[in-house]
A and B are shown apart, each in its own frame.
Chain A
Amino acid sequence: MHKMDMTFLLLELRTQTVAVGERVKGGTFRPCVETIPTSTLKGSFRDHFGLQNVKAIGFFRKDTYEKAVFTYSPFDALLKTSKLPISLEYLKPKQGFSMVIADIYVVKDEASEKLVKALPAEVSIGALKSKGFGRCEIKHVGEVKPALKVGYLKGRLLEEESESFGIVEIIKACHGYLFYPTSQVSGMYKKALFEGSIIKGPEILIDEVYEYD
């Protein structure tokens, strides 16, 4: 298989509960995604290490987690009132595991070199941090030189960053928007590639192989 001329740093993330929310508003149920989008990691690394532009994507290991639902009633501190209860889906360790584990692939560049120097560390990702969700241990495991493959993308990443992640061709684009933090309190939505897109790129990003034109 053709190896790419590209290196990713491999990090391991461990957590007891995490809820990276599917962006569904207007309802009382918030499902969670089973991968860690680039925007989530970018925001987390910026907040914890002051690194502005780390390009990373993560995938929870399927055999380590199961889904559960947490119901809570958000409190509006300004109005001093509780809102309608919201049920939030989250990941917790599967029976037989003490932690949910994810593999995080970071594009090797100047920013990621700085990141590695700061590891191991504790970071927070996802929703309900105030309730103890999303507290993660993260450590550097090694480097990966993936092979080039054609198949279905298994995570979410900004389309403008697809080249940085080694994607050489987008065969079928399933677009959506990811929140792009521009500061600690603001941001915008940017066009992103979602699961189901068919790409030619590093095998670490690929779920199922695609064999057609």
Chain B
Amino acid sequence: MKNRAFISELHDIGKLVDRQALDKLGIKISGHAFQNFDFSLIGISRPSSPGWYSQYLEDDNLKPPDKDLLNSSEAATLIPEPKVRADVLLTKIADGISASITRLELLGKHVQRGQIGEGLYKIWNPEFYQKQEKHWAAFADVPSLKKMFQYIDSCEDYRDFFSDFWDYLVLTPEDKKAPGNIVSLLAHLELVGKVYRILKKHAFLQSKDNQHSLIYNSQPIKSVREACGHIDPTQQAGKWIFRTVFCDIGFPQSFSRLQDLNVFKKRADLIRTFSESEDTKDYVLFFTDDFLCLFIPKEGELKIRDLLRPFIENGFTIDYKEMEAELNLLTSSMERAYRGFHSLASNRHLKLYYKRATFNFLEELPSQLCDSCQIRQGKERVKEQIRECLCNICHSIREMGEPARKYAEWEEKGLRAAWMKITLNQAGLPEILHKLFDKYVDCSPAMQQVSSNDKTILKESFRPLALQMDFVKDYKSLLQTFNKRIYEIKDDEGNPFFTKETFLYPIDGYNEFGIFKVHSNKNLLKVIDVFTGLLEEYFPECIEDSPIKLALSVAHVKYPYHEHWRFLSKPKDALNIQRTTAKLTLSIKQYKSLRGKIGQKNVRLSHFLHRLVQIQTKTHSDRTVMLEVYDKNNRRNFPAILELLEEGLTPQQILDYYRLIHEEEVYA
């Protein structure tokens, strides 16, 4: 056997093969694994690298979850090397827990699936594949198929596999049959690879009296079932307990100087380093600039405080929720799984904790607290005749540089600025994905032939983790495109509406956060329009219930930074606008209705809206408001108001929107 690394990601390389195309060329292939393939058909010999043996994951002899993959004669015959058998077993475990739909055949019942689809179906963007110019298949003829086997033999690093086949992996679904065709093969393989490497890192192969076992946390296993347990939570328990953890990386600082914004850079740098470092990268399933999703062993094996030490030492606070469970029970829909599990009579292990990791607070501090973070001992520092009491961490953040220097120079009379933040609500994302998945299963033509009973089973077996990875990738693309599109907006004369001078991204690479000049309401509306346009482009199915939110806080340039941030950091709906006079929150649908129906400045309309708000405040009665709107004259004069109220908007929201778009003179 060649001395190469075992690459677990290669186990699904066969999913990039267009079997129908090869069938037409006389090459019969059954399934996506090639362990039984007749290599003489294409005139080459069977590959022999360790990675090749990942093809045996699907072998009928090794498929039963209770099969001893380390010692059984079938396993030893097919995969001679015990170390490789251990790799295959770990890959099989990783593959099972990474699937977006639980392997239902393991429940012992046949569940019908939908039709085979062409390419990836994104449940938040159904037209995605149709808009692509490329075909999903990387191997559709004999020469390319030969190359695939050569690739299996020669590939030395999973990262090469991802970069060499990236274009195909993002278009190919993990499972071609609906409803499994919703996760990209890339996300599935990234997940399998990471889980496999973490399992391998924390387990070791023990050989005694010619019997082999894999041991993690003093728990020896030989089969998938022994490690993961039965997929039915009321049956056999699994021995291996791991954790999925959602970490919100926060900071205690309140912004009083522009230099305090450096904390974003510090956080983003730490997250990036953590997610790319050889020691820790595989624990990170996906991340954004303020969030990490981790897959880690039990606390006894790896203390979360030790793992997150770089963040804690730099003054960050990590609010995390942690699901600790047997591998087959582990999921990212934590609350849903917890409630489901505890409604059953089961003794198996599934725990859910909400915790915080932060630096160790002293019981008492005798003197000054740091002015910025308020939680560490400060030291008086004088800069440019300003005395401040800062701790070392906050001081070092101040010393990192001068972000948004241009903002400090905005001194035009009467100018206002908008602070902008785009946020992905990670906590709510799994639930939104569940809803989209349910809709797909219930309404897709590809699922028409499936019985309602089987649909219910499929919905219950959905696990959104890999899908979250795909979603976050699209979210990051949206942010990059937003950054680009902002500077592509043109004014009436064809000149750029925003320039690098008037729309700032204070922290390089941190695309969620920007500051721009507000000369008139047009600036705000342009930004909102770019955002809503991109949501429709990337996440059209999320328009009604968007986990991605835009917040804008508009005020004069000297407005307290921490008050901007307080508003930006807690967005309520898809669109959130704070001005000194009012706060407005809207869904995308509401915004579009208002945009379409409230147009020209109209003093009578303004008076009418004020009257409605007054009635609402005084009577707290929607009915009284509606009586006023239904008045014959009002209906005739303001037909749009009735329509907007019927769409669920409140008089206050309509009035605030009206003010927002007609306040030019205030900013001028």
Contact = CB atoms under 8 A, between A and B. Distances in A.
A82 B351 CA distance: 57
A29 B562 CA distance: 9
B366 interface: yes
B358 interface: yes
B256 interface: yes
Interface string A162-187: 00000000011111110010000000
A160 interface: yes
Interface in B479-496: none
A176 B356 CA distance: 13
A191 B361 contact: yes
A42 interface: no
A28 B655 CA distance: 31
Contact of B371 (A25, A29, A180, A213): A25
Contacts of B361: 175, 177, 191
Contact of A174 (B254, B356, B367): B356
A31 B365 contact: no
Nearest to A175: B361
A31 B564 CA distance: 12
Interface string A15-33: 0000000011111110100
B587 to A, nearest CB: 24
Interface in B386-443: 388-389
B560 to A, nearest CB: 4
A27 B560 contact: yes
Contacts of A87: 560
A85 to B, nearest CB: 11
B503 to A, nearest CB: 25
A210 interface: yes
A23 B374 contact: yes
A175 B389 contact: no
Interface string A187-209: 01111000010100000000000
B369 interface: yes
A171 B254 CA distance: 26
B566 interface: yes
Given A27-B560, A189-B364, A176 B375 contact: yes
Contacts of B389: 25
A172 B356 contact: yes
B352 A28 contact: no
Nearest to B376: A177
A175 B358 CA distance: 9
A190 B356 CA distance: 19
Contacts of A177: 361, 365, 369, 374-375
Given A95-B617, A177-B374, A190-B364, A27 B256 contact: yes
B374 A24 contact: yes
Contacts of A95: 617
A190 B358 contact: no
Interface residues of B, number: 33
Interface string B182-218: 0000000000000000000000000000000000000
Nearest to B386: A26
Contacts of B1: none
A160 B364 CA distance: 11
B375 A175 contact: yes
B254 A24 contact: yes
Interface in B338-377: 338, 351-356, 358, 361-367, 369, 371-372, 374-375
Contact of A24 (B319, B367, B375, B562): B562
Q: Is the interface of B mostly helix, strand, loop or mixed?
A: mixed
B354 A212 contact: yes
A180 B335 CA distance: 38
B362 A191 contact: yes
B258 to A, nearest CB: 12
B254 A27 contact: yes
Interface string B286-313: 0000000000000000000000000000
Interface in B308-339: 319, 335, 338
Contact of A176 (B254, B319, B374, B561): B374
B81 interface: no
B157 interface: no
A173 B356 contact: yes
Contacts of A27: 254, 256, 560-562
Nearest to A95: B617
A136 to B, nearest CB: 26
A177 B378 CA distance: 13
A212 B364 CA distance: 31
B615 to A, nearest CB: 13
Nearest to B561: A27
A210 B354 CA distance: 9
A9 B83 CA distance: 68
A172 B354 contact: yes
Contacts of A175: 358, 361, 375
A31 B257 CA distance: 16
B354 A189 contact: no
Contacts of B254: 24, 27
B388 A26 contact: yes
Contacts of B353: 212-213
Nearest to A210: B354
User: Which among A26, A160, A172, A210 has the highest number of chain B CB atoms within 10 Å?
Assistant: A26
B33 to A, nearest CB: 40
Contacts of B355: 172
Contacts of B369: 23, 177, 189
Given A26-B371, A27-B256, A95-B617, A212 B560 contact: no
A15 to B, nearest CB: 23
Contact of B256 (A26, A176, A198): A26
B544 interface: no
B563 interface: yes
Contact of B566 (A31, A173, A180, A188): A31
A173 B351 CA distance: 19
Nearest to A89: B563
B363 A191 contact: yes
A14 to B, nearest CB: 23
B204 to A, nearest CB: 30
Interface in A36-55: none
B560 A28 contact: yes
A176 B254 CA distance: 14
A29 B363 contact: no
Given A25-B256, A191-B362, 5 more contacts: A31-B566, A176-B375, A190-B364, A191-B363, A196-B319
14 contacts: A23-B369, A23-B374, A24-B374, A27-B562, A171-B354, A172-B354, A176-B374, A188-B366, A189-B366, A190-B363, A191-B363, A210-B354, A212-B351, A212-B354
Of all A-B residue pairs in the complex, the 4 with the closest CB atoms, nearest first, are A29-B560, A27-B256, A26-B371, A25-B371
Interface of A: 23-29, 31, 87, 95, 160, 171-177, 180, 188-191, 196, 198, 210, 212-213
Interface of B: 254, 256-257, 319, 335, 338, 351-356, 358, 361-367, 369, 371-372, 374-375, 388-389, 560-563, 566, 617
